[in-house]
A and B are shown apart, each in its own frame.
Chain A
Amino acid sequence: MIGKYHLRVRSKVCDFSLTLDRKYTLIQGDSGTGKSIFTDLVKQYSRYGADSGIELTCEISVVSLISDTGTWDTDTWKEKLNRYRDAIFVIDAFDPCIREYEAEFSELAENSQAYFIILSRKTFSALSYDTDSIYEFVSVANADRGKQAYTVKLMKVYRDKMKNKFENIPHKK
């Protein structure tokens, strides 16, 4: 799978619109920016589809690694990773695949053709991503009442904020 994919997830309150141009998209950043809300929306959509009331638009399928009953089991996530070839997988910081089974997950992910959105601050040494793949969420309030209250977009951490990061490190005496 190559190329750009646009993903939009909308609920009554939030409107997430993401453009993915690489295999891995890591979303980090401060607490309270909407990472858990985003994964929660995708999980709900993954389980109940359009009946969940969530509007999810993307050229290819967007999948969370939970099982159909909403729980986690080792066979399901491995089976899902193998089954979906052209898909975007959304993985949360608390998902066992990146906590207990990181090595197995890394191997399967590297061999997979799918795209991955990983919402964790951890460093994944076995995945081939670079600094351009690391983003954080920025939210913009909408004044228009007919629209969702907030639109959330991605911002590159190491292009837009690199200068500030270096400024935060004190000089060695």
Chain B
Amino acid sequence: MLHLYIGESEKALRAPNNWFMNAFPREYLETPLAREIVQGIDKSVLESRNAVLSPYLGRVGIDKLSTGVRQTLIACFTDKVVDLVHCGDNCLTYIKKRSVDKDIYVTTTRYVNLFSKKDTVSVPVIIDNNGKIVNSFWEYDDEFDKFGGGL
């Protein structure tokens, strides 16, 4: 299930870029899902635990992965909490897909539409502020108004 906390949370990683480089278990980078995420967001090929083939930069290390990819990988493979302010809308599909078979905890300090019509994946979201489960855009929007008025 996808757990969303609306607003600032102390549980969210403060320096996800650094956490990814220093503590993310590299064995996850060899899974098909990690390759799909890097291909889908950065249009790059994840060649090994350490190397990425990017159409923009050529063959580079994983330190050149975008912030969005790093956040998505952290959210999909570990139990750390990430803030969706650092994830673009193109990351949400992968987080939602993964939430079908894993509990994912995210927070957000920006307005994020988890029920966009453009997205083919639609999963229920638990709003962690009050524990309510939302299944559609309008239910989600009401909850967002309650807790994230200024976002």
Contact = CB atoms under 8 A, between A and B. Distances in A.
A121 B66 contact: no
B125 interface: no
B143 to A, nearest CB: 15
Interface in A32-58: 32-36
A31 B91 contact: yes
Interface of A is mostly: loop
A93 B67 CA distance: 10
A168 B86 CA distance: 21
Contact of B85 (A36, A120, A139, A167): A120
Interface residues on B, range: 20 to 34
B102 interface: no
A30 interface: yes
Interface string B56-74: 1100000000111101100
Contacts of B138: 170, 172-173
Given A31-B41, A31-B68, A94-B15, A123 B87 contact: no
B150 interface: yes
Interface of B is mostly: loop
A169 B118 CA distance: 9
Contacts of A35: 67
B78 interface: no
Given A121-B85, A123-B150, A32 B69 contact: yes
A66 to B, nearest CB: 15
Interface of B: 15, 17, 41-43, 56-57, 66-69, 71-72, 85-91, 109-111, 113, 115-118, 136-138, 150-151
